[in-house]
Structure 1
């Protein structure tokens, strides 16, 4: 079965007709902002076997992520998670939904996404290593190299030590 992509406006019409809306992003992303009618069923939860439903063949389930990339890359997995329902994907995800001026629930009191925090910390450490390497002592260039090696390892292995460390910080504790 082919999974159909639809615009946010088309999704809004289907939601008014009783379609289910599922956000496949992770819990921290969903807590920061989401579409009001959405239920959370993250990709990692789907991989662990979590499901919503049961659904009937005449049900319509609409999935979305931040940009539409995760939903399109995992369309078959999403389809299997709600079969036998008809599956649709919001083209452009939450970004397109917001661009069309549709309503969202946003909670800016939630912490920044952990990966954004990793980018901020890693970028700051690399910049500090370069500046200190030129201004104070060439040994500080090692700091930039160490952070770069950590990012390379995270990309290859899928394990990010800095993300694990940041997840444990007080500002990232679940509210």
Structure 2
């Protein structure tokens, strides 16, 4: 089990304190914790369980039920490749394979250097742009923007930001 540093522990305690008396606070707390820490550590779930007097298994059930929550730390840059039907038939698997090769991150995992995470996702609601990839929340329609996506990944790999290249 991972150890949280004091800053992270203080943040989790603050979130719990601010929301514990609200109705249905679990999901709200989880969103805030993940937004700040990048994932939901088990220690945070234990702290919530103690403060809310509910079983940690109930909180864990919420975390694992909703796809937007993760119990594993993500990379500095998160790449989501849509494998929904429209994207898949338009070549998203090939793009996924290319990104795995470029970044060194496994599908649904993080590269050893912690720079990239690659998530195989389902429909993101941009089927007209298929195949679709998102990088840190920015959506790319890869049939027209594949070179831009490659450039972005290579820039991040070098430790540069794309804005610095413009």
TM over 0.5: no
TM-score calculated relative to the size of structure 1: 0.25
Higher relative contact order (CA 8 A, sep 6+): 1
Larger Rg: 1
